[in-house]
Amino acid sequence: MRRRRRVCAAAEANATAPLGAHHRLYIILGAHTDVSREWRIGYFKRFQPGRGEQFNRIILLANPHRTLEYTFLNFERTVRCSSVLIGALGLSLIALAVYTAVLVLAEYKSPRPCITEECVATASRMIESLNKDVDPCTDFYEFACGGWIKKNPVPEWASSWDQLAKLREQLVIDLRELLEADDEKDLPESVMKAKSLYRTCINIDKLEEDGIKPIQKVLEKLELPPLPPRSPTANFTWVVAAGRARRMLGLNVLLSVQVAEDVRNTSRNRIVIEQVSPGFSDRYLLQPEQFAHEVGQYRKYIRDVIALSDPTINADGFADDIVEFSKSLAKIMTPVEVRRSGTHLFHEVSMQQLIQGSNGGPAEWKSHDWERYMSLVFANTSVSLQGVTDRVIVMDLPYLHKLATLLADAPPLLLDDLQIYCEAPLSRLNEAIANTNFNLQLIAEWSRAFGLSVNPVKTQTMIVGSSRLLSRVDTQILPKVVFEGVDIPFSQTVKNLGVVMDGHLGWGPQLQSISRKLYASAALLRRLRNFLPTTTKVALAQSLLLPVLDYADACYLDLSEDQLNKLERLQNFCIRFIFGLRKYDHVSNYRSELKWLPIRLRRNSRLLSLLYNILFNPTYPHYLKERFSFLHCTNSYTLRSSESLSLEIPSHCTSFYDSSFTVQAARLWNSLPVSIRQAKSLQIFKNSVKEFYLSQ
């Protein structure tokens, strides 16, 4: 028979304790397993046939062969006692909660409102920021911020304005008050240094006196020219300029190099190389059409800085080159989104691997001296770079590869303003041409070795001599002058540094060139002469027309009277443009009103200014200074305090040398009063010379 869980009930009572009809019968339901044959009481069910006394024992039949006797407690009494205890405990908890609430309410005191000056001011600002005329349920933003927006318009110099910007502006004002306050004895050293630096920056007189000289000194330390170069130079390399700028000024140029913790192991340091911003927002540079105004302002800033350092240079072309190169840098930079992504990789290489380049890198990598760059960055430090052991983390390897290619693709350096002079009698003219071709071949080889390029198309050849000699020369039968495989034809005139010369070394072609330039510039200005005020026309004439007359005027000192009169007429043309005069109106009174000198005296004043710099400016070439000497004295800077300051006139016997700069400048110098020759500065000297000539 299958064994199953059994349920047994008390069916009969013990003979010693019979059950009465008035007794309560409790049927105990139990269960047991056949394995252990142990009773387990599951639950009991009350069966009450009648009321009366309860029995205390019942017999449970486990099976026909075994009985167990249990003592049954009086459950009813126990349940009744437990209910009383639970009720009492609940009442106690309720009483405790009521007591606690009463106690808290009795002791609670509402906080007093803050009435300090700061709290009142803050509350006032918050109330003023509200726009109570607007329903907050309709437009909560206007309700909460409308008052502040109305009372705080965006300044003209800012593109946006908010509470933080206003606080920053107030912070600047507070800092200025602190820096301009009187010094105190107990101020920290850092504060004193900040106050000293601030006073240096706002010393306008000192800044005007020094000008750009401090910047030029820094440029010289970087092995850069003190003034913007007019053309590429062969001795410039970005490696030296960028390396020295990083070491001396802390500027990251083209790429960033620093020593930082290794992100994978912060207990060690590594050299970290990564890309750097070109100095202007790459977002603007990548979208120049959308941000045309911002890019235009950036270009204007560069142009103004270049023009300030050298007014005679082509500042517009210089600014265009910088902006275009900045755009090229922005195009090769790794985007910020890519650098922040988890897939962006950085590479750890040895110093030797960085210098030599990777196998997958561009071929232009080895054309740059990376070893010299790194040595300049760590020059004059305790760091000694080891090619094998020192490790470098490259954060933007694609950028470095593209940078190497970009720098190698820069326009070639052009070899300009090179002259070769070969003297020979007419009978040996063919030999002189052969010697010239040999020298041109050497120059071509030298230029290629140093990365220079020579433009044969702009190269000219001219034979110089007297009219009699030139009449005996037939250029058609002469050997050709050849440069880089290109025949260089003989020319009647050549242009050297903007000065046009002919075979007789006459100045007729130069004056014709001056006339064409001046009339071409004036033709554009004459269209506006009826709309421009006089002051504007004066400024235009002084900046666009007169420099054409003044350029290289120290070269042609042997002009004839007719040629000088031609230059005078050109200056008179400028005066007529300013005052709207007719062609034959006299201009003497108007020239005096402008305080302009006649063309002869104007040229003399410029010669004297050049001579003053040669004598007393130590930055001028020494070989020019050697051409002049003071009477009975050595040509030293301290001679300005002497009594005579007269220059010796070199002895000569030809009219050609008599019209040279050395003789003409010395004569003009000696004709000046001693007080003018003793001027302490160039500006004082120029003003004194002009007043001296105007008084004549």
Nearest Cα residue to 412 out of 368, 455, 363: 455
Least confident of 21-30, 83-92, 209-218: 21-30
Is pLDDT above 80 for 559?
A: yes
DSSP structure class, residue 367: G
Answer yes or no: are the C-beta atoms of 441 and 473 closer than 8 Å.
no
Percent of the chain scoring above 90 in pLDDT: 11
Contacts of residue 669, defined as CB under 8 A and 6 or more positions apart, other chains included, come to 608, 611, 646, 647, 677
Report, as an integer, the average pLDDT of 158-182: 86
Report, as an integer, the average pLDDT of 197-226: 83
Q: Calculate the CA 77 to chain-centre distance.
A: 94
Q: Give the residue with greater pLDDT, 510 vs 360.
A: 510
pLDDT, averaged across the chain = 79
Q: Across the chain, which distance is largest between two alpha carbons, in Å?
A: 172
Q: What is the pLDDT of residue 19?
A: 41
Count of alpha carbons within 13 angstroms of residue 61, beta-carbon side:
11
pLDDT tens per residue across span 346-388: 788 888 888 888 777 787 887 788 888 888 888 888 777 777 7
Tokens of 596: 């302009």
Q: What is the pLDDT of residue 233?
A: 64
Q: What is the pLDDT of residue 5?
A: 39
Report, as an integer, the average pLDDT of 497-517: 87
Least confident of 73-87, 387-401, 681-695: 73-87
The whole model's pTM is what?
Answer: 0.46
**pLDDT confidence tier of residue 42, bands split at 50, 70 and 90:** very low
**pLDDT confidence tier of residue 128, bands split at 50, 70 and 90:** confident
Nearest Cα residue to 380 out of 553, 244, 520: 244
Least confident of 195-199, 416-420, 511-515: 416-420
**pLDDT confidence tier of residue 235, bands split at 50, 70 and 90:** low
**pLDDT confidence tier of residue 13, bands split at 50, 70 and 90:** very low
* Residue type present at position 391: R
Answer yes or no: are the C-beta atoms of 134 and 146 closer than 8 Å.
yes
Q: What is the pLDDT of residue 691?
A: 92
Answer yes or no: are the C-beta atoms of 475 and 433 closer than 8 Å.
no
H or E stretch at 260: strand 255-262
**pLDDT confidence tier of residue 414, bands split at 50, 70 and 90:** low
Cα gap 544→540, rounded to integer Å: 6
pLDDT tens per residue across span 295-307: 889 899 988 888 8
H or E stretch at 29: strand 25-32
By CB neighbour count within 10 A (0-12 exposed, 13-18 middle, 19+ buried), where does 544 fall?
Answer: middle
Report, as an integer, the average pLDDT of 34-50: 40
Percent of the chain scoring above 70 in pLDDT: 82
Report, as an integer, the average pLDDT of 248-276: 84
Is pLDDT above 90 for 689?
A: yes
For residue 23, the tally of other CB atoms under 10 A from its CB is 18
Query: CA 507, 510, 515 angle in degrees (round to 5)?
Result: 125
Q: Calculate the CA 459 to chain-centre distance.
A: 39
Q: What is the pLDDT of residue 597?
A: 92
